[in-house]
Amino acid sequence: MIEAGQLWTALLFSGEGEMAVQRAGVVRISGALCVQRGTPMLQGFTEAATLSDHQAVDIFVADTGDGYQRAPIAARVRKAAQYYSDKGGRMPNPLLINIRKADLDNEQAVVVVDEGKVGYETALIEGSNWIGTGRIEFANDMQLWIYDGQHRAGGLHQLLQELDEFEDFPVPISVTIGLDQGQEMREFYEVNTNAASVKTDLAWQLLTKMAEEDPELREMLAAEDRDWITRAYAVVDELEKLDGPWQGRFQEPNKRKVRGDGVTIPKPQFARSLKPVLDMPTLKRASASDIAVIINAYWSGIKRVMPEPFEHSSSYVIQKGSGAVALHRVLPQVIEVVRSRGERLGQPDGYADVMGNLPTLEGEVVDNNGLLSNRTGADYWVVGSVASAFSGDAGRRRLSLLIQSRLPSAADTLQL
């Protein structure tokens, strides 16, 4: 009687080739094979059905301490499934998978080298490097342990329960061969703590550029209520062209801030701060250039009632994150008051009138002598003063409420 390991050997080296492998029900994945510092790795593709049949995720179990990954989030799995089915999405980035050492020791999986077998085996022994081609062949009951990409894999698995057409969907995979669970866990940790995602400024810039050329992408963003991102970027681009408080104040992607350059805020942070304004029903269908004119007029009005922070912008936070976020949160109310008074939205006069009490904001701060000092007017906005303390989303929300308390209400001017 032939044992499991002998069966593998017989199949792989008997010379019977493909038919012998197929009769035994062996699963095969071919691709670029290498040895990297003594560890075999394979880059290739497998069909979604194969991945679905063999995928496993080592979920952390609080009661026992076993496992190491977070439980899958159902919403993310559904979103991945919808991306591949409804939106015709592709998967260019590989899933990271491990075939565990125990499965190699039990001879459930073997590596077959197309050429250069001696170089491959030497690299394994010496812990060195080697590049070639080959395949992994494994038994039907073996598991492929996913340590990065479980939601994408879960989305495909969900689709296969409903749509046969996804059975042969090519899934890119990068397979480490022979790591034990502890080493696999280390790879998971490194991927999730050291890998840097695309910075927001570059990602949003790219999204805006793609949306300009792709009507379907614009429709998708609108359906998901994310079109405000591209609209915001378009507004910022228009705002930069206008003579006003924000000209030369935005930090561009891949451009470092230099002392004295006048830059006060990264472009994506300013764009994000515009969401409450862009969500206004009044401005939903307004052009980017018209919205830019309104924002320019608003800030020009603020500058009229409190000019000092705009003359030395780097020394004040009013044109940094705290100020931009808080003041844009109250802008919808300001616009409604200006409209109710019959003022034009593109002129600074109405905004200067509505924001006239902004300099009355006051608060206490500890001075250089360790004593509490009351600050108001422009001093309220000095870096390190009262406004600087409103950090994070919660802090900026509180600052916007304080500003709001100084504003007239649109209801006060309603005529029934």
What digits encode the pLDDT tens for the residues 21-79?
A: 433 579 999 999 999 999 999 999 999 999 999 999 999 887 787 888 889 999 999 99
3-state secondary structure of 307: coil
pLDDT for the residue numbered 155: 96
DSSP-assigned letters across all residues of 19-33: HHHHHTT-EEEEEEE
Using left for φ > 0, alpha for ψ between -120 and 50, and beta otherwise, residue 150 falls in: alpha
Give pLDDT < 70 ranges for the chain: 1-24, 194-202, 206, 254, 410-416
Secondary structure of residue 107 in the 3-state scheme: coil
Give the contacts of 157 (CB within 8 A, at least 6 positions apart).
51, 52, 55
- Residue 201: the pLDDT is 63
Question: Tell me, what DSSP letter sits at residue 413?
Answer: G
Question: Residue 3: what pLDDT?
Answer: 34
- pLDDT score of 133: 97
**Confidence at residue 338, expressed as pLDDT on a 0 to 100 scale:** 95
How far apart, in whole angstroms, are the C-alpha atoms of residue 223 and residue 238?
A: 25
What pLDDT was estimated at residue 197?
56
What's the confidence (pLDDT) of residue 169? 96
pLDDT at 191: 83
* pLDDT score, position 18: 39
pLDDT of residue 416: 53
Question: Which pairing describes strands 39-47 and 27-36: parallel, antiparallel, or unpaired?
Answer: antiparallel
pLDDT at 24: 53
Write the pLDDT tens digit of every residue in 139-167: 999 999 999 999 999 999 999 998 888 99
What pLDDT is attached to residue 172? 98
